[in-house]
Structures are given as C-alpha cells and as structure tokens.
C-alpha cells in the first residue's frame, strides 16, 4: 500500500512543480453569489482536515500515512461532533470569521450550494480529479451551478439492517419489501422466546439532520416528494402524508421503539448491536462495526422497504472542500487528491464499510465476495433521492426538522405538519 501511495504522489508532485494556478468562474442565479477571478492553489506547509468524529477509527491511520510521506506538510485531524448540524455550525462560524484554522473540510453532500454561494470554499479544477470514474449522482452532489466545489470522498445510502437469524427462525422467507411486511415479520419474531421484548424498528428521529433524512425517506418511499423535479416544494400531498403517517402511526403502535425519538445514528447502532432491535435503518458504516459486535453473523442488509414495494433512501455522503480562508492550498489540493483517490476509497470500504464514490468498486468480484452487502449498497446509492440542493439548505432542513418532529411527538397532525411545512418551504425557497 505504501508504494502505491508513493506512486500516486509522484504525479501529484509533478503537477505542483508545474505550478498549478487555476481560474474559477461561475454564473449567478437563485440568490447565490458567483465566484470569479483566479483562485490560486499556492503555499506548502501544515494544514488541517476537519470532519465528524471518526467513529470507525480508520481516518487517523490514513492521515498518519500521508504525514509520514510529507513531514513538512503534515495534516492535523480536527474532529467535530458526530451530528451534522453541529458540524455545519462550527464550519460556518469558522468561515464567517475568515479563520484559517480549517483547511480541508469534510462537507455533508447537502451543504455544497450553501458553502459555494457564500464563497466559503474554493472552486476546484475538475480535470485534477477522476470524476468520470465516480457514480454520477454522487459526483453531482459536489457541484454548484456548473462548477466543482468539492470532491466526493464517501457516499451514503440508507439500508435496512435486519436480524436474519431471527427472521429465519420465525419462518419469515426474506427481508420485508413493504412496511406491512416489516410489521408482519416483527409480529412473528416477537412470538419467539428470543424475540420477546425486542423493539421492531428504529431509524434516527432526534431533531437534527438525521430526522430530515428519515422524514424524506418515508415520504419518498410512499411515492411522495419534498420538492418536485423543478425543485419546487410539493410536500402537502396525500402521498407525502402516507409517508409521514407511517412514522407517526409506527410510533403510536409500538413498531418504532419509543426511545428512537432521541436517536441519532450512533444511538440506533448501539440499540441494534446490543440485540434490542429486529430492524434498523442506518448507513453502511454500521456494517463493519456491527460485524464486530454481539450480533455479528446474525444480521444482513436489504433495501429500505416502502408503502407498496421497495422504498428510497436519501442520498448521503461527504465531499472534501477547500476553505477559501486557508493557507497552504497547494498542499491542501494534494491531500484532497490523496484522500479521495480510488485506493483510499477502497481502503475505507474494506476497513470501515464506507460507500465508495467509485463505480467499479461495487462490481469488483473479490470485494463482493468479501462484502456481500455491496450490491444492496450500490442499489441504495443509485436509487437514492437527493435532499433539496439549495443555498438556503440550513433553513430548509430546520423547517423539515421542526414540522416532522411536531408530528412525531403528537403535537400536530401529519396533515397540519405538512401544510405548515409546505408554506415554510415556499417562503424559504422563494417559490
Ligand atoms: C450521514 C450522511 C449525511 C447525512 C447525515 C445525517 O452522515 O452521510 O449525508 O446528512 O448522516 O445524520
């Protein structure tokens, strides 16, 4: 691996020696501002990499590898809280004070437009990254207008983790494709002595970005939309209501564990790993961690279920972006190439079961043999629905979180929450 990384780096070094000065330009529209004029990627020296707390333990060793090869251009890993909203807040605070403390940012795929429009991140040179090898919907998340402002590092698609051992024992033929089948399977498993006291299902329903993800998945899995094909809010519909009703009804009838109203990804992972859940909606990173837990060998993954057939995940993931206010941008660009390279994506897949942006890794027979969840993951990512791609994403997600939470808590009916949400979104998005 060391030699491969070194080789990857000799080409990067050659590029840098040739003097990489880039021109950024863009066009304006929808309230965002454009980035024009030359952005130069100059300066070499220490930088920082800022991302969510690494629950998989695989990031620092990769950075160590870089640091060994680049003693004068060391990367310090700054870990932010695990929840997306706190990460966004800290990154924005840093940008608003024009601080150079953060160099390379691991941006949630939903923040690209907001960060680019505010000029908190630099436009990047497309030809320097192997974008054509990446899954198209994943690559699109890194763009704002026509420009590239980030580079996909890992994708994310929601999957249904299920206790295959218990389903089998209860005589359930396979994973549920619909919500009705899911409830049915739980009823059967709960009749087993081992299934007694287990909760049926959990996702992430605390009031944070994960709730936006889970809400959108329920709406899309019932045939509704949050915004239509033109990006116009269209959430006050019977189909969207069926989606939200699935969540509210499931909380009421005990299909969803009561505690799940406080769950983020990690809480729900712990619940599944400790054997308290039959079904869990979560991201691919859970796969490798759960394989090392008490439920190792007792679970499998399937596509998310929906109202009348398979459901649709929200498209998640993280892209690397370069803070406009950072120093040592030549080093930063090299590090971004390294960290988003196919070899590193493969490493993160093998070590932490993260979804790679690179298409061919999903079809690699050796990898599929080793990781049987890959075909399900690929399907999940390719069929995933992006969350609204707007500059005002912070306001959009706050509105969704507020209204979805009010419905789940019983404070508002689903119908009222969706009517209010539609109005809020129209106001925030100006359409
Ligand atoms: C994961 C996804 C990200 C999403 C977040 C929500 O980190 O990759 O896109 O916003 O979960 O909690």
Q: Coil, helix or strand for 227?
A: strand
287 lies in the same domain as 241: yes
- Alpha-carbon 93 to chain mean position: 22
Q: Which residue has the tokens 């972006």?
A: 321
User: What pLDDT was estimated at residue 146?
Assistant: 87
User: From the CB of 152, is ligand 1 less than 6 Å away?
Assistant: no
Question: Of 362, 382, 402, which one is at a domain's C-terminal end?
Answer: 382
User: What pLDDT was estimated at residue 35?
Assistant: 54
User: What pLDDT was estimated at residue 9?
Assistant: 36
Could you give the number of structural domains in the chain? 2
Q: By the 8 A CB rule, do 36 and 25 touch? A: yes
272 lies in the same domain as 415: yes
User: From the CB of 316, is ligand 1 less than 6 Å away?
Assistant: yes
Q: What is the mean pLDDT of each run of 10 residues along the chain (431 residues)?
A: 36 36 34 53 97 96 98 98 97 98 98 98 96 97 96 98 98 98 98 97 98 98 97 97 98 96 98 98 97 97 97 98 98 98 97 96 94 92 96 97 97 97 96 81
Q: Which domain holds residue 36?
A: 2-156+316-382
215 lies in the same domain as 71: no
User: What pLDDT was estimated at residue 37?
Assistant: 40
182 lies in the same domain as 274: yes
120 lies in the same domain as 6: yes
Rounded distance, CA 209 to CA 9, Å? 36
- Alpha-carbon 129 to chain mean position: 21
CB-based burial, 355-378: b 16+ in 10 Å, e otherwise: bbbbbebbebeebeeebebbebbb
Residues in the chain: 431
> 52 pairs with which residues across the strands?
80
pTM over 0.85: yes
User: What pLDDT was estimated at residue 13?
Assistant: 38
**Which CATH number goes with the domain that contains 167?**
3.40.190.10
User: From the CB of 247, is ligand 1 less than 6 Å away?
Assistant: no
371 lies in the same domain as 263: no
Element housing 50 (H / E): strand 47-52
Which atom of ligand 1 approaches the CA of 264 most closely?
12
User: From the CB of 283, is ligand 1 less than 6 Å away?
Assistant: yes
What is the radius of gyration, based on Cα positions, of the chain? Answer: 22
Closest protein CA for atom 9 of ligand 1: 316
As given in the structure block, the two tokens for residue 405 are: 């939470």
Q: By the 8 A CB rule, do 255 and 238 touch? A: no
As given in the structure block, the two tokens for residue 186 are: 């739980």
- Within 10 angstroms of residue 296's Cβ, the number of other Cβ atoms is 11
Which atom of ligand 1 approaches the CA of 109 most closely?
9
User: From the CB of 317, is ligand 1 less than 6 Å away?
Assistant: yes
User: What pLDDT was estimated at residue 407?
Assistant: 98
User: From the CB of 213, is ligand 1 less than 6 Å away?
Assistant: yes
286 lies in the same domain as 320: no
As given in the structure block, the two tokens for residue 142 are: 């890194």
User: What pLDDT was estimated at residue 39?
Assistant: 66
Q: By the 8 A CB rule, do 190 and 198 touch? A: yes
């Amino acid at each position: 691996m060391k030699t491969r990384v070194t080789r990857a780096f000799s080409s990067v070094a050659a590029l840098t020696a040739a003097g990489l000065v880039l021109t950024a330009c863009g066009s304006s529209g929808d309230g965002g501002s454009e980035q024009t004029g030359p952005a130069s990627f100059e300066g070499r020296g220490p930088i920082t990499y800022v991302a969510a707390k690494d629950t998989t333990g695989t990031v620092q060793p990769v950075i160590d590898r870089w640091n060994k090869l680049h003693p004068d251009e060391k990367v310090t890993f700054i870990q932010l809280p695990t929840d997306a909203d706190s990460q966004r807040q800290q990154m924005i605070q840093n940008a608003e004070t024009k601080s150079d403390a953060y160099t390379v940012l691991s941006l949630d795929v939903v923040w690209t437009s907001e960060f680019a429009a505010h000029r908190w991140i630099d436009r990047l040179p497309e030809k320097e990254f192997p974008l054509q090898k990446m899954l198209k919907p994943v690559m699109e998340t890194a763009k704002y207008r026509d420009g590239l402002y980030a580079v996909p590092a890992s994708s994310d698609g929601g999957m249904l983790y299920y206790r295959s051992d218990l389903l089998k024992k209860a005589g359930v033929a396979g994973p549920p494709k619909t919500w009705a089948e899911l409830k049915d399977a739980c009823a059967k498993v709960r009749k087993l002595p081992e299934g007694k006291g287990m909760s049926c299902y959990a996702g992430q329903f605390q009031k944070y970005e994960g709730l936006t993800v889970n809400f959108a998945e329920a709406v899309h899995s019932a045939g509704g939309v949050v915004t239509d094909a033109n990006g116009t809010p269209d959430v006050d519909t019977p189909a969207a209501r069926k989606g939200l009703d699935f969540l509210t009804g499931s909380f009421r009838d005990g299909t969803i564990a009561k505690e799940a109203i406080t769950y983020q990804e990690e809480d729900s992972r712990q619940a599944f790993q400790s054997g308290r859940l039959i079904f869990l909606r979560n991201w691919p990173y859970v796969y490798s961690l759960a394989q090392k837990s008490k439920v190792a060998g007792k679970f499998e993954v399937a596509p998310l279920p929906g109202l009348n057939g398979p459901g649709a995940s929200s498209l998640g993931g993280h892209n690397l972006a370069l803070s406009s206010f950072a120093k040592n941008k030549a080093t930063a660009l090299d590090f971004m190439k390294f960290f988003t390279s196919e070899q590193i994506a493969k490493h993160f897949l093998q070590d932490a079961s993260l979804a790679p942006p690179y298409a061919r890794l999903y079809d690699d027979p050796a990898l599929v043999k080793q990781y049987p969840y890959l075909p399900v993951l690929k399907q999940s990512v390719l069929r995933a629905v992006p969350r609204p791609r707007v500059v005002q994403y912070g306001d959009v997600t706050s509105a969704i979180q507020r209204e979805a939470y009010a419905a789940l808590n019983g404070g508002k009916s689903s119908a009222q929450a969706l009517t209010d949400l539609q109005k809020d979104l129209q106001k925030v998005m100006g359409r």
